[in-house]
Amino acid sequence: MGLFQNTLPPKERMARLFTWGDVIVLLLIAVLLSGGARLAFNAPQEVLGPDIALTPQALPWYALLSVGRMAGAYALSLLFTLLYGRAAAYNHSAERILMPLLDVLQSVPILSFLPVVLLGLSAILPQKLAVELAAIVLIFTSQAWNMTFGWYQSLTTLPKELREASSIFRLNPWLRFKKLELPFGMISLIWNSMMSWAGGWFFLMAAETFTVGSKDFRLPGLGSYLREAASLGNTQAILWGLAVLILTIVALDQFIWRPLLAWSDRFKMEMVESDEPPTSWFYALAHHSRLAEWFKKMNDPLANQFDSYLVRHFPMRDLDETNGKRNWLNLLFALILAGVLLYGGLRAALMLWSVPLHQWGQILAGVLATLLRVVVSLALALAWTIPVGVAIGTNRRVAAILQPVVQVTASVPATAIFPVFLLLVINLVGGLNIAAVFLMLMGTQWYLLFNIIAGASAIPQDLKYTSALMGLNGWARWRTLVLPALFPYIVTGGITASGGAWNASIVAEYVEFGGKTLSSTGIGALIAQATAKGDYPFLLASTLSLVVTVVLVNRLFWRPLYQIAEDKYRME
């Protein structure tokens, strides 16, 4: 059925390959990196973090601190997702800047510019506040992008008849968001939120413990506890830390994510009720409690008053009514941005000019080697996540068994078990390359799996009945129903998974193991080496080279697939 047939004319596809939006984004990234590097030169030379207690008694407090940082980062991620995704989906002028920027941000290894961000903050803020903000920013960058892509995909695939109905009823932006957009994208948003928390746990060790040369930044928490235990070889402490981490993940699953999934089943687009809706013992208990009834009685009048206020003061308007007011603001913003980019771009160009030619050759070889590992890890991830994700998303009995296992496994930081796997393969031919692909796979597969589960869960029950009445079984059912329904979710999962792979390359290609430093050819290893040495011009050059590669891959591959998903596989 031509699942990957390109629906865009060749000229339009080439026009999207590299735009002025990409140029502005590249300049903005260069300005931020170079500015952070210059601030980093003024940071304290010796920075020591607090001692991390490896006693079991400290773990409850550490778990609470880590969950607090994760929750703060998630709140920022959710706000960013709702505002950014909506602006990119509905404003075509803004989309030309916002989507290239999102493509870049989700794929740039945050660990490459965390040092300059952290050291820059340390130069202008008190140390404890700077380290806390840097940790939350790092966790935020591991949570926000896949949620934003999922929300953007939901808004761009809204059924035409629902969009027309909202226009007929003249819903203002708030009611359109509350009654149409949020319910339609809720299932995808919840599954991507679960994935975001798993991604946050993945980078928790890096967020709470970070060393640049003689500067040691450390925050008390589960991540720093596991990092300290691993560096000291304290097996008992590692087991205690993993046990508390797994217990925390299971508690969050039972008391937050499972109830949210059971609640979100009402938002499926279907004419027939599902035979096996998701269930949650805590949701059933809370839903029928007196406290829930009291809250509903108190909340409904307040919500109605809030809606009425917004309808009166912010009625639906045609675009022409607001364009005139926005033009001068857009012009002012453009002038300020142009000035910042011009000045910062010149400073960044001076830093790049100081990079020797032979280092540019190393960067080119590193980008190609890491790109190959990214492709291999994505292929391995797709091979198992599609069948497993469909099984979990369409079969409640399978979901009851596998979903908690997936939740826990996805949330256990792969960086904590990576040394054990490296010990097993380090003596094999290409052992470090095998280990690097393994860690990159651990950083990619969950993005795909959770999006595929969300897509399979959102398939309407009436379409399942229709396919059964038509006698579609096996490959015919997959080709006609399952794969078309999953296609937008696979694209969203794929683009965020590739970003996870580029991120994981930093820790996968440059490893400190057994008192030795092991590295393989790759852009991640070059960025890690530049970070360790404090070579900021080389760090800027390698990071920007990675950004350009990511932009090209997204334009040549992912964006056409997004267009196909929007044009051909809308649920309507």
Three-state SS sequence of 317-353: CCHHHHHHHHHHHHHHHHHHHHHHHHHHHHHHHHHHH
Whether residue 320 is predicted with pLDDT greater than 50 in this model: the reply is no
Mean pLDDT throughout 495-509? Answer: 80
Q: Which of 103-107, 279-283, 512-516, 540-544 has the highest average model confidence (pLDDT)?
A: 540-544
93 vs 186, residue with greater confidence? 186
Residues 330 and 245 in one domain: no
Residues 510 and 543 in one domain: yes
| 3 state DSSP class of 489 | helix
- The candidate with the shortest Cα–Cα distance to 146, out of 88, 117, 188, is 188
**Separation of alpha carbons 523 and 510, rounded Å:** 10
Residues 380 and 446 in one domain: yes
Domain presence at residue 12:
no
pLDDT of residue 21: 60
**pLDDT tens figures, 206-252:** 778 766 555 667 788 988 888 788 777 777 888 898 889 888 988 88
Residues 501 and 390 in one domain: yes
124 vs 107, residue with greater confidence? 124
The tokens describing 390, both together, are 């469909």
Residues 253 and 153 in one domain: yes
Mean pLDDT throughout 245-261? Answer: 87
Residues 497 and 508 in one domain: yes
- Looking up residue 154, the CATH number of its domain turns out to be 1.10.3720.10
**Separation of alpha carbons 316 and 311, rounded Å:** 8
Whether residue 268 is predicted with pLDDT greater than 70 in this model: the reply is yes
pLDDT-derived band of residue 150, with 50, 70 and 90 as boundaries? confident
Task: Output the average pLDDT for the chain.
Answer: 77
Whether residue 57 is predicted with pLDDT greater than 80 in this model: the reply is yes
**Domain final residue, candidates 336, 352, 368:** 352
Domain presence at residue 375:
yes
pLDDT of residue 15: 42
Residues 400 and 301 in one domain: no
Non-local (6+) Cβ contacts of 151 within 8 A are 81, 82, 85, 86, 185, 188, 189, 192
- The candidate with the shortest Cα–Cα distance to 225, out of 46, 3, 58, is 58
Q: Note down the domain range covering 103.
A: 58-268+354-568
Whether residue 556 is predicted with pLDDT greater than 70 in this model: the reply is yes
Domain presence at residue 18:
no
**pLDDT tens figures, 322-345:** 444 456 666 666 677 677 777 777
Domain presence at residue 51:
no
pLDDT-derived band of residue 44, with 50, 70 and 90 as boundaries? low
The long-range contacts involving 531-535, CB below 8 angstroms and separated by at least 24 positions, are: 531/111, 531/112, 531/115, 531/212, 532/212, 532/213, 533/213, 534/40, 534/115, 534/212, 534/213
**Separation of alpha carbons 245 and 228, rounded Å:** 15
pLDDT of residue 64: 93
Count of alpha carbons within 13 angstroms of residue 310, beta-carbon side: 13
The tokens describing 129, both together, are 């506040």
Q: What's the total number of domains in the chain?
A: 3
- The two most distant CA atoms of the chain are separated, in Å, by 72
Question: pLDDT exceeding 70 applies to what percent of the chain?
Answer: 77
pLDDT of residue 201: 81
pLDDT of residue 428: 72
**pLDDT tens figures, 368-427:** 999 999 999 999 999 999 999 998 888 878 887 887 788 777 767 666 667 667 777 777
Tokens 């797994």 found at: 246
Please state at what angle helix 483-508 crosses helix 536-553, rounded to 10 degrees: 160
pLDDT-derived band of residue 547, with 50, 70 and 90 as boundaries? confident
Residues 303 and 425 in one domain: no
CA 64 to chain centre: 23
Residues 485 and 345 in one domain: no
pLDDT of residue 383: 92
Domain presence at residue 273:
no
Domain presence at residue 257:
yes
pLDDT of residue 410: 74
Domain presence at residue 295:
yes
pLDDT of residue 67: 93
**pLDDT tens figures, 152-197:** 888 888 887 888 787 777 777 788 888 888 888 888 899 889 888 8
Q: Are 482 and 292 in contact (CB under 8 A)?
A: no
Residues 69 and 125 in one domain: yes
Residues 134 and 207 in one domain: yes
Domain presence at residue 49:
no
Residues 399 and 543 in one domain: yes
**Separation of alpha carbons 374 and 126, rounded Å:** 38
Non-local (6+) Cβ contacts of 191 within 8 A are 150, 450, 451, 453, 454, 457
pLDDT of residue 169: 77
